[in-house]
Amino acid sequence: MNRRNEQKHSSAPETPLSWEWNHQELRFRGDLTLPWVDDAVEPLFRELKHFSPSQLVIVLDEVKRLDSAGVALLQRIATVLEEKGKTVLFASVPRTIAPTLKMFTLERSRERTPPARLFWIERLGEAVDRFFRIDLIRFVYLMADIFYWSFADLFTHRQRRKGEFVNQVVLMGANAVPIVSTIALLIGLVVALQSAAQLRQFGANVYVADLIAISMVQEMGPLLTAIVVAGRSGSAIASEIGTMVITEEVDALKTMAISPVRYLIIPKVHALVLSLPLLAMLANFLGILGGTIVGYFYLNISPYVFYNRMVQVLEFRDLMTGFVKSLVFAGLIVITGSFYGFRVQGGPEGVGRVTTASVVTAIFLVILADSFLGLLFY
């Protein structure tokens, strides 16, 4: 009963819907409006299945009110019967509801069919085609643009956004310090702990220092920093640029004769190229600290011995490897983020899509580049 009261129109009092079958006549009484129709649909269509005469006359003279749901119900009855080759007539439609009946009646002729979905192989073909014809080229162009401007911008002060570089260093570098340090310390602890178990079997405890130092500086430090930053800043870049594209801000910049790449991306490139190596160095330090802690408490290696051992095995080359990797990763993260940002399609939901895609791609590219560089510097 509650359900009925709730939909009450504020004006006239409402009357419950009822209907009556009379051989080939169906007479409705009361309100043919949504709450009543909602309750009536099921029993009515059940009764309709047993309807046998070749003609149905729907009598509406006692219908008090009608709305779109009511019309939908009437039209549906008509369609169902006409599909079975029967005729349906509306009789004595009161003048009060006739316009409403007309207003909500659809001509049944032309139903649009949904757009055909492509066969999977067609979709695959389209994706591959799009990748090689559009995406790859755009990616290369964007890379070239970024590469050119990141050097050109250093030598000219005109058109540079004041304060943006510092702002970005804070956002992408300084603000990432807590999370990067925590993760690096934990990774250092865990790697040392896992390898200690193996090394102890050979009494090669002290080599844990070699292992931690080299793996952190060459590999883990830059890599894990890049992954964290790709998640933090890569996604931020993609969503920022993406939002600017769909709100036409990027177009506005273009019409003001300002290169969006230079204005929006270059400060980020510079900021990340500076801060990613620094963050990686911080990660190296904390990772090794983690190793030292495990060494001291678990393997009885004094920090002094650990330090000496580390200095012996680490070469300048190892540091440079890590540094170069960081630079490459920084470039990849910014390029991927901005590539997806500029590629956004559709409305705000498109921004969410490109953001996700940019993080996944950035992490993939970082790891791919890491393997190549690892082989190169091995």
Partner 1 sequence: MQANPSKKEPIILVRNLSARFGRRVVLKEVNFQIYPNEIAVILGTSGCGKTTVLKHLFGLYPIQKGEVFLMGERLNEITEDDYQRLVRKVGVLFQNGALLNSLTVAENVAIPLEQHTRLPEDLIEYLVRVKLKLVELSQAFYLYPSQLSGGMRKRAALARALALDPPLLFCDEPSAGLDPLTLQALDELFLKLKNQLGITIVMVTHEIPSIFRLADRVIFLHRGEVIFNGSLPDAVARSPEPVREFFRVGMADTRHGAHPPVEP
**Closest distance of CB 290 from partner 1, Å:** 44
Residue appearing with tokens 């369609």: 79
Helix (H/G/I), strand (E/B), else coil: 109: coil
* Residues 87-126 within binding reach of partner 1 (CB under 8 A): 99-100, 103-106, 112, 114-115
- Write out the H or E segment, with its range, that includes residue 338: helix 316-342
Instruction: Select the span of 18-26, 173-181, 258-266, 339-347 touching partner 1 (CB under 8 A).
Output: 339-347
Which C-beta is closer to partner 1: that of 48 or that of 258? 48
Instruction: Select the span of 184-192, 247-255, 282-290, 340-348 touching partner 1 (CB under 8 A).
Output: 340-348
* Residue 297, token pair as written in the block: 């408490």
Instruction: Select the span of 17-25, 30-38, 143-151, 210-218 touching partner 1 (CB under 8 A).
Output: 30-38
Which C-beta is closer to partner 1: that of 159 or that of 345? 345
Query: Is residue 33 a contact point for partner 1 (CB under 8 A)?
Result: yes
Which C-beta is closer to partner 1: that of 99 or that of 303? 99
**Closest distance of CB 256 from partner 1, Å:** 23
Please tell me the count of residues contacting partner 1 according to CB under 8 A: 35
**Closest distance of CB 38 from partner 1, Å:** 5
237, 338 contact by CB (below 8 A): yes
Instruction: Select the span of 153-161, 171-179, 315-323, 341-349 touching partner 1 (CB under 8 A).
Output: 341-349
- Sequence-distant (6+) residues with CB within 8 A of 366 are 223, 226, 227, 230, 329, 332, 333
199, 205 contact by CB (below 8 A): yes
* Residues 41-70 within binding reach of partner 1 (CB under 8 A): 41-42, 45, 67-69
In what side-by-side order are the strands of the sheet with 55-66? 18-22, 25-32, 55-66, 87-91
Over the window 294 to 333, marking each residue x when it contacts partner 1 by CB under 8 A and - when it does not, the resulting string is ----------------------------------------
Which C-beta is closer to partner 1: that of 315 or that of 349? 349
* Residues 186-215 within binding reach of partner 1 (CB under 8 A): none
The dihedral of CA 328, 163, 183, 361: what is its sign? Answer: negative
Single out the residue of 15, 24, 75, 259 in contact with partner 1 (rule: CB under 8 A).
Answer: 75
SS3 readout for 24-59: CEEEEEEEECHHHHHHHHHHHHHHHHCCCCCEEEEE
Instruction: Look at strands 55-66 and 25-32 and give their pairing.
Output: parallel
Nearest C-alpha neighbor of 88 from the set 20, 26, 23, 22: 26
Nearest C-alpha neighbor of 366 from the set 241, 234, 262: 234
Helix (H/G/I), strand (E/B), else coil: 98: helix
Q: Which residues bind partner 1 (CB under 8 A)?
A: 6-7, 9-11, 33-34, 37-38, 41-42, 45, 67-69, 71-73, 75-76, 99-100, 103-106, 112, 114-115, 345-350
